[in-house]
A and B are shown apart, each in its own frame.
Chain A
Amino acid sequence: MAYKTVVEDNIDVLVVGAGLGGTGAAFEARYWGKDKKIIIAEKANIDRSGAVAQGLYAINCYMGTRFGENNPEDHVRYARNDLMGMVREDLLFDMARHVDSTVHQFEEWGLPLMKDPETGAYLREGKWQIMIHGESYKPIVAEAAKKSADKVYNRVCVTHLLLDESRENRIAGAVGFNVRTGDYHVFKSKTVIVGAGGASNIFKPRSVGEGAGRVWYAPWSSGSAYALLINAGAKMTQMENRIVLARFKDGYGPVGAYFLHLKTYTQNGEGEEYESKWYDHTKAIVGEYIDHHPTPTCLRNHAFIHEVNAGRGPIHMVTMEAFQDPHLEEVGWENFLGMTVGQAVLWAATDVDPKYENPELTTSEPYVMGSHATGCGAWCSGPEDISPPEYFWGYNRMMTIDGLFGAGDAVGGTPHAFSSGSFTEGRLSAKAACKYIDDGKGEGIVISEKQINTLREVVYKPMEHYKTFRNEITAGSVNPNYINPRQGLDRLQKLMDEYGGGVTVSYMTNENLLNIGLKKLKIMEEDLEKVAAEDLHELMRAWELKHRHRTSECVLQHTLFRKETRWPGYYYRGDAMKLDDENWHVLTVSRRDPKTGEYTLEKAPCYHLVSENE
C-alpha cells in the first residue's frame, strides 16, 4: 500500500474518540496542562459524531444541588437501585458531585436549557432529568474541545493502542488510519483517554434489511471503547450487564419524557395495566428487589416481555389523554425531532398521530454500553478521597494499564452518567492524566519501529487480502477465501442473538449455549483474519467488526462467569434463574491476556456508601 505514515510525536494527552466523554477530556486538559500537547483522534467529524450526533432533548443527569434538589449520594442510591446493587459507588459519587458544574457551563456556552418560570430552576423532566433544546449539543461541546486541543484529526479510525516497550503495562499512544486519505497515523503519547463509545449492532437488531440501521444506539457505535482496551490487556468490569430498552416500536424513540413529563403510561393489548400482575413472578426470581422504588428498569422490562409472551401484546403507550393538551403534544413531537428524528418519520409514514391513537412499544435487542441504565466498561481507579484500596491505584479514572484513562461508556460500573456525566468523567480523566504527566510517570517511553510496522501491516491486511483474492472469482460477493464486513456482521449478530440471549430467544441463555457461542466466536476470529475490504470505507467497517467481535467475546465470558440471573429483563441465565446475593453480590472483573487470548475472571468486592432506603 502506498499510503503515507504520519507520526505525531511527543503528545501529552491523546483523546481517542471525541463524543461527550472525549470532548470533556480535551476541553479540561488544557486547564491543567497549559503547555501540554493535546491531540484528538476521531473516527468521524467531531461536530456531529457519536451518540449525540442528532442532538438530545434532555440532560439526564443533573443533581440541582444548587437549587436544593438532590445530593450526590441520592444519585448513587438511585443508580445502585436501578442496577440491582451492582455499581461502583465511588465513581458514581465522584461524577455526581461534579456534574452540575458541567451543566451550568453548558448553559453559559449557549445550550438552551429550559427553565421553570416559577422557581427559575431548570425545568425538570424527572428527578434527574432536565429539558433542553439540544439540537446543537454536539457542535457546542465540539467547539469547547477544539478550542483546547492543539490539533483535531477527524476521520481517523483508531485500531490499536500502543504499549511502552521499556516498562511493562504502560501506555504509549495509539495507531489508526485516515478513512479519507488512507494514511497510517501513529500517535506517540504519554497518556491516552479513551472515549470511543459503546456498542450497537452486536446482537441481531429487530429490524433487518434496509432498516438495519434503525438501532437504538447509533450504528457507528462500534464498541471501540471496549475492544481497544481488551486487546491491550486492560481489566474490564460488568461486561455481562448489557441493556435492553423499552421504546416506541420500530423508531426506538425515547420514552423518558413521555413517562416523566407527559405522564403517559403503558397498558397491554387488552387495555389493562399489566406490571403488577407479574409481581409474584418477579419476586420469585429477585426477592425483595422488586419492592424497591423506583422499580428497576430491567424488572419493568421483565414484566413487559412476559406479558407479550403470554399472548397479551402489543404493549401500548397511552398518549391520547396527554396529547389533548397542545403544549404537551408539542413537547412530545419536539422530543423526537431533537434526538430521534426517525421516530417522527415513522409516525408520519404510518399515519400514527398519538393524539388519536396509542402507539406501540417494544423491547429492543441488547446493547453494550456504560452510561445509560447499564455499567459495562473498564475497571478504573477511583478518586483518592473516596475509594477503598481495592478501587484505588493512584489516578482517578485510570485503568489497569498505566497512563490509560477513560470517560463515558468506556468506564465500567458507572451507569446513569448519560451525556452530562460522560462529559464530566472526561474532565476528571483529563485532570488526572495531567497530574500523571506532571508526576513524571510518562517519561522514557519507547516505541520500536517494529511495533509500528507490524501494526501497519495488520491495519491494512483486509485490503491486501481483498486484492489477493478478488480476481479469483468473476464478480459478486461470494468468495471461498474471504468474507466482507457486512457478512461478518450478520454472522456475529446471529450468533450473539441465539447464544448470548438476544430478542429471538426472549433474552434467554445458559452455560451450554454460552460455551457454544464462545467456540463459534473463536472460529470467527480465524475468519476475521480473512475479512476483505474493497476500499477505505470497508476497511473502517472491517475494523468496526473486529472491535465488535472482541467486545462480544468479553460479554459472553462475563455472562458465563456470573452464574445467576441478576437483571431479569436484560437477560436470563436459564440454568441459574435466580438472583443470588449470597454468591454474586460482587462486581465481575476480567482480563484477556493479549499474548494467549485467554481470559481470567474474578470477583471484586462491591462497596456501598449509601443504604438502600433513604
Chain B
Amino acid sequence: MPTFVYMTRCDGCGMCVDICPSDIMHIDKTTRRAYNIEPNMCWECYSCVKACPHQAIDVRGYADFAPLGHSVRVIREEEKGTIAWRIKFRNGTEKNFLSPITTKPWGRDIPKLADEPEPSQEMRDSQLLFNEPKYIRMDDGDLHTLESNGLKMKEGVYY
C-alpha cells in the first residue's frame, strides 16, 4: 500500500526521507514537501509513517487490488514504549490495538562491549561467545558439542 503525503500537514522536515529503507520518500523541489517517488517499490512497512512528527503520511492500498475507502493509522510513542493502531474498514468497521514496543528505557540496557572485561585466552580458545555459557543450558553448563550429545558426523545418504 503505497504511501502518500497530506499537503497541509507536511513541513518538509525530511524524517521520512532519512528512514525509508527503499529510498523512495523524497522532497519535491517545488512544493518542498515529501512524496513517494516510486510507489511500486513501497513495502508499506510504515517506517516513514511512524517517523513523521506531523502524521502527514498515510497509506492507500495498492490501486491494482485494494478498493478505496479504508485506513490503517498508527502512533508510535517511544517514551511510553507503546504503539497504537486504528484500522478502519471500507464498510466502516473499526478495530483498535495497543502493543508494547520495549520493556526498558531506550539506550540504557544494551551493553557497550568496549567496557566489558577483556575475554581470557581460555575463552578465546573456546567456542563460547560473549556472555556465554549463560542461558544456553538449563544448568548454565558448557556448550553442547558432538561428544556431550553423543553425536557423530557421518557422510552418507540415509543417515
A30 touches B113 (CB 8 A): yes
Partner among B26, B42, B113, B154 whose Cβ is within 8 Å of the Cβ of A213:
B42
Set of chain B residues within 8 Å of A50, measured between Cβ atoms: 21
Whether, in the assembled complex, A140 has its beta carbon less than 8 Å from a beta carbon of chain B, the answer is: yes
Contact yes or no, A210 B154, CB < 8 A: no
**Which residues of A sit under 8 angstroms from B93, Cβ to Cβ?**
351, 353
Q: Which of B1, B2, B99 contacts A135 (CB 8 A)?
A: B99
Contacting pair B63 A210 (CB below 8 A): yes
> Once the chains are docked, how many angstroms separate the CA of A585 from the CA of B90?
52
A341 touches B44 (CB 8 A): yes
The number of residues on chain A lying at the interface, defined by a beta carbon within 8 Å of a beta carbon of chain B, is 98
A209 at the interface (CB under 8 A from B): yes
A350 adjacent to chain B (CB < 8 Å): yes
B66 touching A31, Cβ below 8 Å: no
Q: Is the CB of B62 within 8 A of A54?
A: no
Task: Return chain A residues, CB-CB under 8 Å to B42.
Answer: 213, 219
Tell me whether A212 is interfacial, beta carbon within 8 Å: yes
Q: Known interface pairs A136-B102, A353-B89. Does A581 touch B137 (Cβ–Cβ under 8 Å)?
A: no
Is the pair A345, B61 in contact by a Cβ cutoff of 8 Å? yes
B21 touches A218 (CB 8 A): yes
Known A-B contacts A219-B43, A220-B22; the reply to A31 vs B154 at CB < 8 A is no
A535 to B76, CA, bound (A): 33
- Do the beta carbons of B154 and A32 come within 8 Å of each other? no
A611 within 8 A of B: yes
Q: Which of A228-236, A265-273, A385-393, A410-418 contacts B (4 or more CB under 8 A)?
A: A385-393
Complex interface residues of chain B between 27 and 70 (CB less than 8 A to chain A): 37-47, 59, 61-70
Query: What is the distance, in angstroms, from A541's C-beta to the closest C-beta of chain B?
Result: 8
Cross-chain contact A250 with B129 (CB below 8 angstroms): no
B151 → A minimal CB distance (Å): 5
Which of these, B37, B135, B146, contacts A104 with CB under 8 Å?
B135
Max chain A Cβ within 10 angstroms of own Cβ: one of B63, B76, B109: B109
- SS of B interface (majority): loop
Whether, in the assembled complex, A348 has its beta carbon less than 8 Å from a beta carbon of chain B, the answer is yes
In the assembled complex, A610 has its CB within 8 A of some CB on chain B: yes
CB atoms of A44 and B151 under 8 A apart: no
- Contact partner, A54, options B1, B47, B132, B153, Cβ 8 Å: B47
Assess the A136–B154 pair: CB atoms within 8 A: no
Partner of B59 from the list A334, A345, A388 (CB cut-off 8 Å) is A345
From residue B68, how far is it (CB to closest CB) to chain A in Å? 8
Interface residue? A572 (CB, 8 A): no
Within 8 A of A (CB), among B118-140: 118-119, 124, 127, 129-138
Q: Kindly list chain A residues whose C-beta atoms are within 8 Å of the C-beta of B101.
A: 112, 133, 135-136
Residues of chain B contacted by A45 (CB below 8 angstroms): 18-21
- Alpha-carbon distance between A144 and B112 when the two chains are bound, in angstroms: 8
Beta-carbon nearest neighbor of B18 in chain A: A45
- If over half of A's interface residues share one DSSP class (helix, strand or loop), that class is named, otherwise mixed; here it is helix
CA gap between A337 and B114 in the complex, in Å: 36
State the Cβ distance, B117 to closest chain A Cβ, in Å: 10
For residue A53, give the distance in angstroms from its CB to the closest CB of chain B. Answer: 5
A511 to chain B, nearest CB (A): 24
**Inter-chain contact A349/B114, CB cutoff 8 Å:** no
Per the bound structure, the CA–CA distance linking A42 and B37 in Å amounts to 21
A4 at the interface (CB under 8 A from B): no
Q: Is the beta-carbon distance between A47 and B19 smaller than 8 angstroms?
A: yes
On chain A, the residues within 8 Å of B87 by CB distance are: 333, 344, 348
Indicate if A306 sits at the interface (CB-CB under 8 A): no
- Chain A residues lying within 8 Å of B95, measured Cβ to Cβ, are 333
The answer to whether B109 and A108 have CB atoms under 8 Å apart is: yes
Q: Is B145 positioned at the interface, with any CB of A under 8 Å from its CB?
A: yes
Residues of B within 8 A of A218 (CB): 21-22, 43, 45
Bound-state CA distance A66–B87 (Å) is 39
The reply on A211 being an interface residue by CB < 8 A is: yes
A-B contact pairs, 24 of them (CB 8 A): A65-B138, A89-B153, A101-B131, A107-B103, A111-B102, A111-B103, A112-B100, A133-B99, A135-B83, A135-B99, A147-B113, A148-B112, A207-B62, A208-B64, A210-B64, A211-B63, A218-B43, A219-B43, A337-B85, A344-B87, A347-B89, A431-B129, A582-B157, A607-B154
For the A-B complex with A218-B43, A351-B89, A608-B154 known, give 7 more contacts whose Cβ atoms are closer than 8 Å.
Answer: A104-B135, A346-B1, A348-B88, A351-B91, A537-B26, A607-B156, A609-B146
